Amino acid sequence: MNVKGLVFSGISCFFLLTSCATSKVPPKTVTKVIRDTVIINSKTDKPEMTRAAKLENYNVTTDYYPSISQDERVRFLVLHYTAINTELSLKVLTQKDVSSHYLINDYDDKQINLLVDETKRAWHAGISKWKGLDNLNFSSIGIEIVNLGNGTGGVFQPYPDYQIKKVGELSRDIVTRYNISPFNVVGHADIAPGRKPDPGPLFPWKKLYTDYGVGAWYDDADKYLFIQQYPWDTTSSVFITQVQTDLKKYGYEVPANGMIDTQTKNAIIAFQMHFRPEKYDGIVDAETWAILKALNKKYNP
Ligand SMILES: [Zn+2]
């Protein structure tokens, strides 16, 4: 190779190296195949490819070129009570046109039933809306808890500790794996106010937050601060519109019409059952108002 040739090859190497430096080189990966499921492990933090087409005439490659433009389909965790006993719950949730991913029985044992694979859609939320998104079956994991509450009769039943331990550990596992935001851990009542009351005012949301780090809860200091700012005139359309705006900001589906209509009142009741369960009458008193403000300050600043 003459001098001219050396210079040329040096330049082309330079361009080659430059282009290599700017393009992404796929990381070296270890591929493990279990039946038709391909799990690709990598030292880098990459998503798993767990389901893929398997074709007779084409090689659907498992080479690791993951797109960075992806996120979880699951964004919400919805908690329910079944209102019927364990035996009936299992029957209904597996043989009727309603289901959930998990069922928590009311026995003091170590069992949690998986009824629907997490990659599949369970039919638990029905007509629902949260944070502007509807039909939450598409985007949520549903947990049914055996509890004989009866919202329509206004009778609710407490949850034993051993049951809450199961709910807590399972929920913590789910929100961690899907990185579900605290305010997206909701009750059926939150996403379908007026239509559904579960898991009811006796469900210990605060305990779920303090003992398991699951879901949202307000800071007491903020609540007391806002209580002192509770306005005198709480009947004006300006005040009511602000409450509606705050409820919507947190996630509830309400209009901003300045009126305590049925939809708004039902949302307030659902909010109170979740965050102020001592009194859920649909009236925005100082404490309800302050808790709503404190939650938005913490989670939607
Ligand atoms: Zn429900």
pLDDT tens readout for residues 220-246: 999 999 999 999 889 999 999 999 999
Q: What is the pLDDT averaged over residues 109-115?
A: 97
pLDDT above 90 as % of the chain: 74
207 and 224 inside one domain: no
Residue 17, pLDDT score? 35
Residue 2, pLDDT score? 41
CATH number at residue 127: 3.40.80.10
Residue 117 within a domain: yes
DSSP string, the chain: --HHHHHHHHHHHHHHHHHHHHSPPPPPEEEEEETTEEEEEESS-----------SSS---------SS---S--EEEEEE-SS-HHHHHHHHHHSS---SEEE-SSSSS--EE-S-TTSPPS---S-EETTEE-GGGGEEEEEE----BGGGTB--PPPHHHHHHHHHHHHHHHHHHT--GGGEEEHHHHSTTT--TT-TTS-HHHHHHHH--S----HHHHHHHHTT--S--SSHHHHHHHHHHHHHHT-----SSS--HHHHHHHHHHHHHH-TT--SS---HHHHHHHHHHHHHH--
> How much distance in Å is there from the Cα of 9 to the middle of ligand 1?
70
Looking at the predicted structure, is the pLDDT value of residue 101 above 70?
Answer: yes
> How much distance in Å is there from the Cα of 125 to the middle of ligand 1?
6
Nearest to 64 by CA among 106, 93, 28, 88: 28
How sure is the predictor about 27, in pLDDT bands with cuts at 50, 70 and 90?
Answer: very low
Nearest to 251 by CA among 190, 301, 297, 194: 190
As given in the structure block, the two tokens for residue 16 are: 């080659």
Which of the listed residues 161, 185, 212 is the one where a domain comes to its end? 212
Least trusted range by pLDDT, from 4-18, 146-160, 162-176, 190-204: 4-18
Residue 71, pLDDT score? 85
What is the rounded CA–CA span in Å between residue 184 and residue 216? 8
Residue 92 within a domain: yes
Domain containing 286: what range?
220-299
List C-alpha distances in Å: 62 to 38, 52, 66, 124, 240: 8, 9, 10, 34, 55
Which of the listed residues 212, 237, 271 is the one where a domain comes to its end? 212
Looking at the predicted structure, is the pLDDT value of residue 31 above 80?
Answer: no
Residue 154, pLDDT score? 78
Per the model's pLDDT, the better-predicted residue between 56 and 60 turns out to be 56
171 and 277 inside one domain: no
82 and 207 inside one domain: yes
How sure is the predictor about 56, in pLDDT bands with cuts at 50, 70 and 90?
Answer: very high
Number of Cα atoms under 13 Å in the Cβ half of residue 249: 16
Residue 85, pLDDT score? 96
93 and 203 inside one domain: yes
128 and 253 inside one domain: no
pLDDT above 70 as % of the chain: 84
192 and 289 inside one domain: no
Least trusted range by pLDDT, from 42-51, 90-99, 112-121, 242-251: 42-51
Residue 29, pLDDT score? 46
Strands 37-42 and 29-34, bridge-based pairing: antiparallel
> How much distance in Å is there from the Cα of 79 to the middle of ligand 1?
7
Residue 8, pLDDT score? 38
Sign of the Cα torsion 262, 294, 73, 166 reads negative
Residue 210, pLDDT score? 98
Residue 287 within a domain: yes
Looking at the predicted structure, is the pLDDT value of residue 10 above 70?
Answer: no
Residue 69 within a domain: no
Nearest to 106 by CA among 146, 79, 156: 146
Residue 292 within a domain: yes
> How much distance in Å is there from the Cα of 41 to the middle of ligand 1?
37
Q: What is the pLDDT averaged over residues 249-267?
A: 98
Which of the listed residues 182, 212, 242 is the one where a domain comes to its end? 212
100 and 167 inside one domain: yes
Q: Considering its fold, how many domains does the chain have in total?
A: 2
Are residues 86 and 106 in contact, defined by beta-carbon separation less than 8 angstroms? yes
239 and 286 inside one domain: yes
How sure is the predictor about 16, in pLDDT bands with cuts at 50, 70 and 90?
Answer: very low
Residue 57 within a domain: no
**Strand partners of residue 129:** 134
Average pLDDT, the chain: 87
191 and 229 inside one domain: no
Residue 32, pLDDT score? 44
How sure is the predictor about 47, in pLDDT bands with cuts at 50, 70 and 90?
Answer: low
167 and 81 inside one domain: yes
> How much distance in Å is there from the Cα of 222 to the middle of ligand 1?
31
Residue 45, pLDDT score? 56
What is the rounded CA–CA span in Å between residue 188 and residue 199? 7
293 and 178 inside one domain: no
Residue 22 within a domain: no
**From the candidates 144, 169, 278, 287, which is the catalytic residue?**
144
CATH number at residue 237: 1.10.101.10
Quick check: is 48 catalytic?
no
112 and 186 inside one domain: yes
What is the rounded CA–CA span in Å between residue 208 and residue 32? 36
